[in-house]
A and B are shown apart, each in its own frame.
Chain A
Amino acid sequence: MKFDTPATENPIDQQKVIGKSTDRIDGPLKTTGTAPYAYEHKDIPGNVAYGYIIGSAIPRGRIGGIDTLAAKTAPGVRAVVTYQNAGELDKGDFNTAKLLAGPDIQHYHQAVAVVVADTFEQARSAAELVDVKYIKDQGNYDLSKVKDSAVSPGKTNGQPADTSRGNFDEAFASAPVTLDETYTTPDQSHSMMEPHASIAAWDGDKLSLWTSNQMVEWGRGDVAKTLKISKDNVRLMSPYIGGGFGGKLFVRADAIMAALGAKAAGRPVKIALQRPLIMNNTTHRPATIQRIRIGADESGKITAIGHESWSGDLEGGGPETAVNQTRLLYAGENRMTSMRLAELHLPEGNAMRAPGEAPGLMALEIAIDEMAEKLNMDPVEFRVVNDTQVDPENPERPFSQRQLVKCLRDGAEKFGWNKRNAEPAQMRDGDWLVGMGVAAAIRGAPVQKSAARVRLETDGSVTVETDMTDIGTGSYTIIAQTAAEMMGLPLNMIKVKLGDSSFPVSSGSGGQWGANSSTAGVYAACVKLREKIADKLGYDKGTAEFSGGQIKADDKSAPLIQAVSDKPLEAEDAMEYGDLDKKYALQTFGGHFVEVGVNAYSGEIRIRRMLAMCAAGRILNPKSARSQVIGGMTMAAGAALMEHLAVDKKRGFFVNHDLAGYEVPVHADIPHQDVIFLDEADDKSSPMKAKGVGELGICGVSAAIANAIYNATGVRIRDYPITLDKLIQDMPVAI
């Protein structure tokens, strides 16, 4: 099915199942510990051995030699695989560095070997006996030092490195009120709860891989390419995922080393990437340096807006696209954006929840707050004045739907924004300085081709099969809701099977495209199944309705089960997209409001309450959508207040590479969150009229926190995370 004209009324609009707050259909499996995650599959053919990965001890250089003799002869050891005996390997299309190092080392903790043994403890113990000689090269590990050598990265995800309209320089120079500031965001780690984990089993040339991966088809392709085998010989299964956040978009060393280890040992092998390796072995969100310039007239209208961003990556990698939102968020006749990429020899950077917008808004939305203050305007009002209903870089291109102003205005009212004192450091509650902050959020709502197979079973139930993943987002449930709505069945008559490369290829989970795209694919397949049922039972497929387990037309009806008296009826289709997303800017919006307390003595920052007003098209399942948004807000609180991979600029690695050193928020950091969704349906997005919320929730929140801290203290910090050491230098002594 092709979606190339705006959606008209369709069965989803009934909203009998869709749009209702619905418990996760996979919830009982998870709460009883019976949902098999990648490391936990029991039905593996053969006696499973354990792999333990050895990460490089140097950030850059070469392996001078590897002595594996002692390890190979250690108790229980079945194989030790290094580049010397792994056979020739390629590199996955989605990987920047190779997943098995040698002889070159490209980054710290890059896998140099896997030890396979009968037990995990034996593998770990023997790993210590592998003697790797390293020859170290110099490298660049400090973004600020290599910033000036950065070059244009060319197009990234189809977007140019530079954009401009009007004459920014002239307009900025002549603007009566201007801002020119630099903001920095650090490297961040996804730090999902479930580590990257895989079980690999070979049957002759055929590889079965149970792994934790957001994108089954990308993964299947890259496993095949890396191992230099046919894609047809790879079956990849990822039915349950304990968090990904972009860190599991790509095949990582656990999968490849499990496959290599299993081949060498002649047995299935399971590997969970050790937690202390994850921060340096896998991908991370790259640090940025961002310069923002804004010029406005006295009425508060932006006349010039410029945003430049610098980031670094290994050779062949890409930039953090931190200027994305500035191309779309605010009006302004004269504008420019620019991204520059420097070569760094830290581990490879890549997507993390809302890549681009998350760090970009961390900077832009502080700048907007600063600008509002310069203009002596309320920051909500300043944003409203500069709203735009068209893509400001291409004014002939409207937004499909844009209710940012409503998010901000309604949010301000719900939050009690009028109680904020615009003058900083005026509100106090005991030892705590109290402040409020606001920020706008914008995040793209991309669509991806997605296919599904639906089957009316002989018992009258419907089975959905697609290689879509559920990374904790609730995909199982919204897919079941979609099929239930389309087929006129109750939710408990729908069975959903996900995350298996033997199923039709879906959009996968990433870029907050999963919910809308994967359900649209199920919609397409259901349309086809409805037609088959209508044909079989002699109904007009154009007008037949499906409800209450029946097919209905005019004055007649029949139970669906009649269509499958002899055998199941199956239909498969994909939703593909035309150019609506070119003609219209498809985006999601939010208004974030935060109240913080800053301890007047210590400078400790504690969030007191948060509100998100979201406009994101039709909300398929308000319950799991809310979970997504509060999760995003929590992650943004981490980004604002604590999360940073500390770079050892001399030794070339992320030092705090475990969950003791890399702090993420705990419950005590997040006392109160409210989420409100505007009632929307976007007919340009898909027949589902939905968009996505998984990344919207992290966008803008960190800046709202930063702005609240400024409002509380009068100290403006432009370097994330905002920690007490940065504040107390300038905070007045408490009285």
Chain B
Amino acid sequence: MKPFTYQRAETTQDAVRGIKTPGAKFIAGSTNLLDLMKLQIEQPAHLVDISKLPLNKIEDTEEGGLRIGGLVTNTDLAANERIRKEYAVLSRALLAGASGQLRNKASTGGNFLQRTRCPYFYDTNQPCNKRKPGTGCSAIDGYSRSLGIVGVSNDCIATHPSDMAVAMRVLDAVIETTDSEGNTRSIPLEKFYVLPGSKPNVETVLKKDELITAVILPKPVGGTHIYRKVRDRASYAFALISVAAIIFEDGTGRVAMGGVASQPWRVKAADNQLPNGAKAVIAKLLENPKTTEDNKFKVTLAERVLDGVIKEARG
């Protein structure tokens, strides 16, 4: 870990001003950044601690949805009454992730910004374009069982590890930010992440001085909410794949998938196929997958698991 300076921001304005310091990063729950700093994967020169900012409320919006403060903990979000009743897929996704201790610390905004769990990203002896741009990708011809099969590039096949973000994607969440100039903007989650392409180190459209202040959920859409996470061990493991689905009585609905791409994966044309069953959905959702010998099973797995999810929704 490199020496760094530290600042506790009292207000949002403080925070976005502090982030202008060269080499600065925000830190909230410390469940990911601190680990990465210990391993010298992240080496910020300055930390802006935002954990005390007043962004920890969950409020109703005028439109009938919810506004979730960026610092609401994963535990609080999962336990919120309206989330459990009206956005159950989100509560279930949160509870499928990490451990009780981590969820007590992890923030909503930070959860979106988790770094990949690709093992090569964590080993600083190995080439990794995400960690050190231009060095190459070890995973593509290395050990890739947990890695991505869609939206991947020749430079990176890392997956995004979040469960929460997959549910947020199926709920059409919108991220609200503010920057050092005081500008705010609303970014639909579908436009928030960027594909790895030749720059896998760039993961979102956030500017350096932009802070996630809240997440907006549109008004509830009803339907049956299912979050199905598939993993080798029963708890405390990242998803091999996960499915977030909202399925209506008429068989239509929405589906997003985790564990297959560098972002929660959702394809409009795949949603449209839901009444036609899992095979039809997967043909669109995982169209032209780019698999390795290690991870090609994910295509079969995705179809089988989605089949179970659709059947569960239909009762």
Which residues of A pack against B, CB within 8 Å?
A: 57-58, 121, 124-125, 128, 276, 431, 599-604, 606, 641-642, 646-648, 650-651, 655-658, 660-661, 663, 665-669, 721, 723-725, 728-729, 733-734
| The 5 A-B residue pairs with the shortest CB-CB distance in the complex, in nearest-first order | A601-B308, A668-B234, A725-B297, A57-B125, A668-B235
* Segment 104-134 of B: residues with Cβ below 8 Å from A: 117, 119-120, 122-123, 125-126
Inter-subunit contact B297/A729 (CB<8 Å): yes
Question: Contact check: which of B141, B143, B300 meets A656 at CB < 8 Å?
Answer: B143
Residues of B within 8 A of A602 (CB): 230, 301, 304-305, 308
B236 at the interface (CB under 8 A from A): yes
Q: Is the CB of A666 within 8 A of B233?
A: yes
A674 CA to B138 CA in the complex, in Å?
A: 44
Provide the residues of chain B in CB contact with A276, threshold 8 Å. Answer: 39, 122-123
Enumerate 11 A-B pairs (CB-CB under 8 Å) in ascending A order: A128-B2, A276-B39, A604-B231, A647-B143, A648-B138, A651-B126, A656-B143, A666-B234, A668-B234, A724-B297, A725-B301
B281 to chain A, nearest CB (A): 14
A161 to B120, CA, bound (A): 38
| Other-chain residue from A125, A657, A734 in contact with B2 (beta carbon distance below 8 A) | A125
Distance in Å: Cβ of A358 to nearest Cβ of chain B:
19
If the complex has contacts A276-B122, A656-B119, A724-B240, are A641 and B233 also in contact, measured as CB distance less than 8 A? yes
B202 proximal to A (CB < 8 A): no
Q: Is B267 in contact with chain A by the CB < 8 A criterion?
A: no
User: Is there contact, CB below 8 Å, between A650 and B142?
Assistant: yes
Q: What residue of chain B has the Cβ atom nearest to residue A658's Cβ?
A: B122
CA distance A724 to B301 in the complex (A): 9
In angstroms, how far is the closest chain B Cβ from the Cβ of A616?
29
The reply on B250 being an interface residue by CB < 8 A is: no
- Docked complex Cα distance between A723 and B236 (Å): 16
| B181: interface (CB < 8 Å) | no
Inter-chain contact B297/A650, CB cutoff 8 Å: no
- Chain B: how many interface residues by the 8 Å CB criterion? 35
Q: With A and B bound together, what is the CA distance between A282 and B255 in angstroms?
A: 45
Which of A57, A128, A641, A655 is within 8 Å of B120, CB to CB?
A: A655
Chain A residues whose CB sits within 8 angstroms of the CB of B234 once the complex forms: 606, 666, 668-669
User: Is the pair A657, B230 in contact by a Cβ cutoff of 8 Å?
Assistant: no
Beyond the given A58-B125, A599-B308, A666-B235, could you list 13 further A-B residue pairs with CB under 8 A, ordered by the A residue number?
A: A431-B308, A601-B307, A602-B301, A602-B305, A647-B143, A650-B141, A661-B122, A668-B235, A725-B145, A728-B304, A729-B297, A729-B300, A733-B304
List B residues 172-202 near A (Cβ within 8 Å).
Answer: none
Selected from A125, A650, A723, the residue in CB contact (under 8 A) with B3 is A125
Q: Cβ of A125 and Cβ of B305 under 8 Å apart?
A: no
CA–CA, A724 to B237, complex, Å?
14
**B1 located at the interface, meaning its Cβ lies under 8 Å from any Cβ of chain A in the complex:** yes
B233 contacts A665, CB within 8 Å? yes
Chain A, residue nearest B35 (CB): A660
Closest CB in chain A relative to B130 CB, distance in Å: 16
> Is B40 positioned at the interface, with any CB of A under 8 Å from its CB?
yes
B143: chain A residues within 8 A (beta carbon): 646-648, 655-656
The contact string, 1 if C-beta is below 8 Å from chain A, for chain B 222-263, is 000000001111111110100000000000000000000000
CB distance from A317 to the nearest CB of B (A): 23
Which residues of chain B are near A733, meaning CB under 8 Å?
304, 307
- Contact across chains for B125 and A728 when beta carbons are under 8 A apart: no
Task: Check A655–B142 contact: CB distance below 8 A.
Answer: yes
> In the complex the two chains form, what is the Cα distance from A657 to B119 in whole Å?
8
Q: Is the CB of B119 within 8 A of A655?
A: yes
Query: Least Cβ distance of B302 to chain A in Å?
Result: 10
Cβ–Cβ contact A601 & B305, under 8 A: yes
Contacts of B300 in A (CB 8 A): 728-729
Of all chain A residues, the one with the shortest Cβ separation from B126 is A651
| List of A residues within 8 angstroms of B308 by Cβ | 431, 599-602, 734
Q: Does B138 lie within 8 Å of A651, measured CB to CB?
A: yes
Smallest CB separation, A121 vs chain B (Å): 6
Q: Which residues of B lie under 8 Å from residue A604 when comparing CB positions?
A: 230-232
Contact with A along B1-22 (1 / 0, CB 8 A): 1110000000000000000000
Contact with A along B288-315 (1 / 0, CB 8 A): 0000000001001100110110000000
CB distance from A620 to the nearest CB of B (A): 33
Contacts of B304 in A (CB 8 A): 601-603, 728, 733-734
Quote the shortest CB–CB distance from A597 to chain B (angstroms). Answer: 11
Whether B122 pairs with A663 at a CB distance below 8 angstroms is: no
With a cutoff of 8 Å between Cβ atoms, the chain B residues found around residue A601 in the complex are: 304-305, 307-308
For the complex, give the distance between the alpha carbons of A606 and B230 in Å: 12
The reply to whether B235 and A667 form a contact with Cβ atoms under 8 Å apart is: yes
Known interface pairs A651-B142, A665-B233, A734-B307. Does A657 touch B301 (Cβ–Cβ under 8 Å)?
no
Q: Given the complex, which residues of A lie within 8 Å of B122, measured CB to CB? A: 276, 658, 661
- Taking the nearest CB of chain B, how far is it from the CB of A142, in angstroms? 13
A53 to B304 alpha-carbon distance, docked (Å): 46
The docked-state distance in angstroms from the alpha carbon of A606 to that of B234 is: 7
Residues on B with beta carbons closer than 8 Å to the beta carbon of A57: 125
Contact (Cβ within 8 A) A728 B297? yes
Question: What chain A residues lie within 8 Å of B117 (beta carbons)?
Answer: 660-661
Question: Which A residues touch B231, using CB under 8 A?
Answer: 604
Q: Considering the complex, give the chain B residue whose CB is closest to the CB of A124.
A: B1
CA–CA, A276 and B41, complex, Å: 13
Closest A residue to B117 by CB, please name it: A660
Contact of A663 among B1, B39, B125, B233 (CB under 8 A): B233
CA distance A733 to B304 in the complex (A): 7
Contacts of A655 in B (CB 8 A): 119-120, 123, 142-143
Q: Tell me whether A661 and B297 are in contact (CB under 8 A).
A: no
| B232, closest chain A residue (CB) | A642
**B301 and A641 contact, CB distance less than 8 A:** no
Whether A724 contacts B230 in the complex (CB less than 8 A), given A57-B125, A431-B308, A602-B308, comes out as yes
- Contacts of B238 on A, CB cut-off 8 Å? 660
Are B232 and A724 neighbours in the complex by a CB distance under 8 Å? yes
* Contact residues in A for B237 (Cβ distance below 8 Å): 663
Known: A666-B235, A734-B308. A603 touches B301 (CB 8 A): yes
| Max count, chain B CB within 10 A of own CB: residue among A121, A128, A601 | A601
Query: Which of chain A's residues have a CB closer than 8 A to the CB of B2?
Result: 125, 128
Q: Chain B residues with Cβ under 8 A from A121's Cβ?
A: 1
Determine the distance from Cα of A124 to Cα of B231 in the docked complex, in whole angstroms: 34
CA of A723 to CA of B230 in the docked complex: distance in angstroms?
Answer: 11
Q: Bound complex: CA of A292 vs CA of B3, how far in Å?
A: 57
Q: Nearest-CB distance from A186 to chain B (Å)?
A: 12
Which residues of B have CB within 8 Å of A648? Answer: 138, 142-143
Closest approach, in angstroms, between the C-beta of A458 and any C-beta of chain B?
A: 50
Q: CB-CB < 8 A to B142: which residues of A?
A: 648, 650-651, 655
List chain A residues, Cβ under 8 A from B235: 666-669
Task: Flag if A663 contacts B305 (CB, 8 Å).
Answer: no
Interface centre among B122, B143, B145, B305 (most CB of A within 10 A): B143
- B residues in contact with A668, CB < 8 Å: 233-236
Q: A192 to nearest B CB, angstroms?
A: 18
User: How far is it, in angstroms, between the C-alpha of A604 and the C-alpha of B300 when the chains are bound?
Assistant: 13
Nearest CB in chain A: distance from B136 CB, A: 11
Which parts of B23-50 form the interface with A (CB within 8 Å)? 38-40
